[in-house]
Structure formats: C-alpha cells, structure tokens
Amino acid sequence: MSLGEVEKDLRQIKGIGDKRIEKIMAVIEKHLGGADRKGESDMNILLIACAVFYAVLCIFSIVTGAIYMSGKRRLNPLELSDSFMQKLSDPEKLHRFTVRMGLVTVIVGVVQGLTAYAIFSRRIFWLALGFTLFSIASVGCKLKGKINAFPLMKLAAYLFILAVLIVSAAQHLY
C-alpha cells in the first residue's frame, strides 16, 4: 500500500478538505504507515548510496579517461587480459589504444553520471538497470583468468546495486 497514492485518492473525493485529509492520513500512518515509511526510508538510503557510488565512479572515470587521452599515463595491465596486452607490445600501438581507451573511459564516466542521476531522480530507472547489467558483464569479462581484488570488489558492488534496483522497482510496482 502506497500512502502517497492513498492521500492522492482522498484528495479526489469532493467534500473532504485538506485539514480532514491530514487527520485521516495521520490515522492511517499511525496504524499502517510506520512500517511502510520505514521500508521506504531504508530503500531511499540504499538508492542514495548507489547513486553516490555511480557519481564517484563518474568523476573517477572522466579524470582517468582524460589522463589516458593526454598520454600522461599508460594503461593499467590489470584492466586487460594478459593475451590482449601481449598484442600491444608495440609502443605506438599501445599509445594509440590508450588514447582510444581514454575516450571510451570518458564516455563510460558520462553514462555513470547519467546513471547516478537516473537513480537520484527515479525517472529513467531502466538506464540505471541497463548500465548496471552492462557493468556486471564488463567486469566479468575483465576477470577472465585473473583474480584481482579491485574488479572483484566492483563486481560485488554492481551486484548489490542490481539487487537494490530490482527490489526498489518491485516495491514501486506493488
């Protein structure tokens, strides 16, 4: 039961003024709303934490991408598979690839920012869900054959975010 929807429905009934609606809502919240509001509050805290995570990743990705594009930093070998890094043994190929990866990293940063906005605003929730699924797949591909703490932590965070998004969407539907 959504208390906001109940209040909206009550406001549509002719003859019930705002003061009476407030009194009725207070009674309903007293008997039903405590648990409902607490659950909403807990979910809001989790969603805000997920959005902040994406916002921090957004800043990190844009800065890292700009550094790669400027050529001031080489690619982190932990980010790519060993076989792929062997293909980039030529320094010129590695430099060109690093610049392209910098651009991709900036684009991913922008999408992470949009994902943070989507979670904060709760408007384009499908974007947050889709990008989270993409991120899980991306980290899964990077983990092929390697056990590295940082990608594993990112994978755990993305799986947690996915669970929060699914539970929040389910609560919103019902």
Q: Give per-residue pLDDT as tens, 126-151.
A: 888 899 999 888 887 766 666 667 77
Average pLDDT score over residue span 69-97? 78
Q: Looking at per-residue confidence, does 168 or 19 come out higher? A: 168
Report which DSSP code applies to 32. Answer: I
Q: Looking at per-residue confidence, does 116 or 25 come out higher? A: 116
Q: Which residues, 6 or more positions from 159, have their beta carbon under 8 angstroms from its beta carbon?
A: 136
Distance CA 56, CA 115 (A): 11
Task: Indicate whether 1 pLDDT > 70.
Answer: no
Residue with tokens 């932590």: 153
Model confidence, pTM: 0.68
For the chain, the distance separating the N- and C-terminal CA atoms, rounded to the nearest angstrom, is 8
Classify burial at 120, counting beta carbons within 10 Å of its beta carbon; exposed 0-12, middle 13-18, buried 19 or more: middle
Domain definitions of the chain by residue range = 46-173
Mean pLDDT over each residue of the chain, to the nearest integer? 80
Residue with tokens 């700009």: 66
Least confident range from 9-13, 34-38, 92-96: namely 34-38
Q: Looking at per-residue confidence, does 77 or 134 come out higher? A: 134
With a pLDDT cut of 90, the percent of the chain lying above it is 25
Q: What residue type is 4 in one-letter code? A: G
Task: Indicate whether 67 pLDDT > 70.
Answer: yes
* pLDDT of 79: 66
Q: Looking at per-residue confidence, does 168 or 108 come out higher? A: 108
